[in-house]
Structure formats: C-alpha cells, structure tokens
C-alpha cells in the first residue's frame, strides 16, 4: 500500500500534541541559586517574550498601578546581579497584568507543588476528581458485595 502524499498545511494526527494547561519557563532559563535570582531571571524572560519594549512595559505598569515604574527599575528587577532590588508583589501583579505571562505565577506555585491554570480547565479537573471518587466508591461497594456473598464473615 502506497502512502498518499500529504498537503504541507495538513496536520497529521500522530504529530499533534495537546497544549499544556500549565505555562512554564524552560527550567534551564530560570535556574538560579536563590529564589530572588530565579525571580529576576523570570522577569527578564517575561520582558523578552512579551513583544514590547521595557520602556513601554514600565509605562503600562505605571498606568496599571498609578505609581511611577521606571525602565531603570524594571531593568534592575530583571538583573540577577541586583540583589538589592527585588520586584514587590504589587509590581509583580502589574507585570502580570501588563504582559499576561502567567509563567511568573507558575514559577512560584510549582515550588510548592501547585499549578497555575486557566479557570476554564476547572470543570474538567472537578470531573476527574469526581470520577476518581466514584471509582473508589465502586471498589468499596464491590468489596462489601463480596463480603455479603461470602456470608459476611471476615
């Protein structure tokens, strides 16, 4: 059987991979000796990936917060060597709001065994939890059924 030629824009189902519900940095890009340095690397990665200039991001963060955020301060947040200036939670929130890069949150959540996902995935997770609970109950019911068949003596 000969294989039919495929159109170059046509996807092969075997090549398809679902998108991950968790957005994360490439681990090697944010690996650091301290949490502060890891966060600095993450800020730097986010600024590189957002498609905007740092001056534009600083202006947008200023508008978001209603307080001045300069490009120089943003550069310091993204610099591993600036241990004296670590981004605050309110400015991290502004950076999230401006860049929409949830990898910043995922970086911190993953350290605690959690994941940051879009809310649209919550019903699927709840369904999976319910199915797991039902499977546990089915096993318990089957165990009790076997006990009853055996005369209830255990």
DSSP conformation letters of 61-92: HHHHHTS---HHHHHHHT-TT-TT----HHHH
CB of 98 within 8 A of CB of 57? yes
Q: Which of 123, 90, 102 is nearest to 49 (CA)?
A: 102
DSSP conformation letters of 17-68: -PPPSS----HHHH--SSHHHHHHHHHHHHHHHSSS-HHHHHHHHHHHHTS-
Q: CA-to-CA distance for 93 and 122, rounded, in angstroms? A: 22
Q: Which two tokens stand for residue 32?
A: 């650091």
Structure confidence by residue, pLDDT tens digits, 90-124? 999 999 999 999 999 999 999 999 999 999 999 99
Q: Where does the pLDDT of residue 144 fall: very low under 50, low under 70, confident under 90, or very high at 90 and above?
A: very high
Q: Which of 27, 16, 23, 46 is nearest to 118 (CA)?
A: 23
Structure confidence by residue, pLDDT tens digits, 56-78? 999 999 999 999 999 999 999 99
Contacts of 117 (CB under 8 A, 6+ apart): 21, 22, 125
Q: CA-to-CA distance for 78 and 40, rounded, in angstroms? A: 5
In the chain, what percentage of residues exceed pLDDT 90?
Answer: 73
The domain limits of the chain are 27-116, 117-154
């Amino acid at each position: 059987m000969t294989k039919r030629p495929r159109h170059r824009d046509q996807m092969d189902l075997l090549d398809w991979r679902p998108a991950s519900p968790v957005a994360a940095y490439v681990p090697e890009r944010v690996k650091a000796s301290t949490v502060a340095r890891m966060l600095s690397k993450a800020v730097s990665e986010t600024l590189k990936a957002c498609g905007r200039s740092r001056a534009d991001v600083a202006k947008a963060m200023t508008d978001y917060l209603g307080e001045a955020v300069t490009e120089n301060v943003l550069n310091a947040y993204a610099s591993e060597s600036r241990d004296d200036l670590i981004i605050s939670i309110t400015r991290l929130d502004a950076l999230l709001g401006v860049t929409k890069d949830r990898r910043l949150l995922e970086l911190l959540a993953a350290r605690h065994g959690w994941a940051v996902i879009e809310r649209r995935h919550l019903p699927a997770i709840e369904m999976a939890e319910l199915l797991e609970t039902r499977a546990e109950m089915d096993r318990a019911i089957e165990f009790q059924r076997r006990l009853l068949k055996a005369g209830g003596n255990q």
